[in-house]
Amino acid sequence: MNRRIAPWALILGTFAIVAGCSQAADEEDAEQGEDAYSQAQVDSDPTLQALQAAAADVNQYEINVDDIDVPVPNASVGTQVNGFSTRGLDWFKNPNVPYPNNKSWDQGTDTGKKCQWAAVFRFNAIFSDPPAEAVAMRQLEGGRWSGSFWSWIDDYASTDSVGHPTSSYAWSTGLWKWIGASGRDGLCRLPTKTMVARMMTACIAQANANDGDPKGCRMPGYNPAYEPAPDAGDAGADASDDGDADAGAADGGAGDAAFDGADGG
């Protein structure tokens, strides 16, 4: 039998390959740590100032941004601090914004845009004084991660709902995901310093067991039992030394499907 491939199938296949390659290239470029916001930019923008202040407490999982204006600048520029960086943009949990065409600033809800900036500011606040576990992971002998993340927001505000963010995770050997969530009535849910420290403990274990490769390690879901008391200051190594870091990172926060959207890059 003489089987022939229709021209339209070849065109569609080529388009899919090109789109996939472009997606991978965009995210791998994040490892280069290109653009980042400047504090001067924030200081000249009252909306960014307000979002930076709202995200400043590294132990606060939930913040409310309802009374803050919608930011105009695109948060995909991200941030770099102490050798750690995040940049990029993805919107998930919005039924009207399917992957892979989910990377435009104007596709986010008003709350989603606020939470995206808040997540960037939270990243900066945490890694301005990074957990010892994060430094150890980046400097791990034989390790393959240089401190790079790609940002996304689970934009639950698009359906006027509330949900936990997908667990931040090592998407590839060298590039990890930094994930927050928006919700109804101005809610943002963001990683805490304790969650980062516990993730790094799990990722060190993963890398040590896999020839330096941490791919697949994940951040545990928020658990107030592991967070410091309000007067205890920032979380550090002691906060993550709970004996359950690997198990917590493995479930990624069972309240949400940790890999919802994970195939979305």
Check residue 6 and give its pLDDT: 52
Q: Under a CB-based contact definition with an 8 Å cutoff, are residues 75 and 89 in contact?
A: yes
Residue ranges in the chain modelled with pLDDT below 50: 1, 3, 7-25, 28-33, 235-265
Six token digits for residue 197: 């420290």
Give burial (CB, 10 Å; 0-12/13-18/19+) of 67: exposed
pLDDT of 233 reads: 57
**Cα–Cα dist 222/104, whole Å:** 28
Query: How far are the Cα atoms of 5, 117, 124, 170, 221 from residue 53, in angstroms, in the given order?
Result: 58, 11, 12, 28, 24
Burial of 3 (0-12, 13-18, 19+ CB in 10 A): exposed
pLDDT value of residue 232: 59
Separation of alpha carbons 199 and 36, rounded Å = 24
DSSP letter string, 143-180? ----SEEEEEEEEGGGGT---PPPPPBBSSSSEEEEEE
Q: According to the model, what pLDDT value does residue 35 have? A: 73
Query: Which stretch of DSSP H or E encloses residue 139?
Result: none
Q: Is the CB of residue 220 less than 8 Å from the CB of residue 245?
A: yes
Q: Which residue bears the tokens 């150890």?
A: 136
Q: Which pLDDT value is given to residue 129?
A: 98
